[in-house]
Amino acid sequence: MTQALNPWPNWRQHRNIPKKQTLAILGDMLELGPDSEVHHRQVGRTVAELGITRLYLFGPLSRNTRAGALEGGMAEKSVFHGTKQEISDQIPTYARPGDWILVKGSRGMAMETIIDQCKSAIPDTHRQLEKD
């Protein structure tokens, strides 16, 4: 998870991309074993350290991610934990053209359903998919 998050700020900086919001939609990491809570908490701290604008969380283990983000200094109003549908309903309220949205979680969390729901909710004129 941190491997997906870490290059984010640097990628924008190296390509002279104007600062936009960064939204992370993260699901549980199911394959971490007995240290799962610690790893989820560390992901939350990483999100806060990187200055991600808004954090959306799905799954029971993500309460630890939330705790880590708050410990790391992220404002409580910038962290949302809910169902996939609740997250999808909130994204159009905050996402603007040019914003970056990362969707990541274990395969078992079926995060592609959030992508599909967000694609339906965000007008085509606001979306641009980039593959790098």
Q: What is the pLDDT of residue 116?
A: 85
What pLDDT score does 123 carry? 63
In order of their start, the domains of the chain are 2-124 (3.90.190.20)
Question: How many beta carbons lie within 10 A of that of residue 7, not counting itself?
Answer: 12
User: What tens digit of pLDDT does each residue of 71-130 get?
Assistant: 999 999 999 999 999 999 998 888 887 788 889 888 999 899 888 887 776 766 444 544
- Cα–Cα distances (Å) from 76 to 5, 23, 62, in that order, read 20, 15, 14
pLDDT the model gives residue 92: 85
Return the percentage of the chain with pLDDT > 90, whole number. 41
The proportion of the chain whose per-residue pLDDT surpasses 70, expressed as a percent, equals: 77
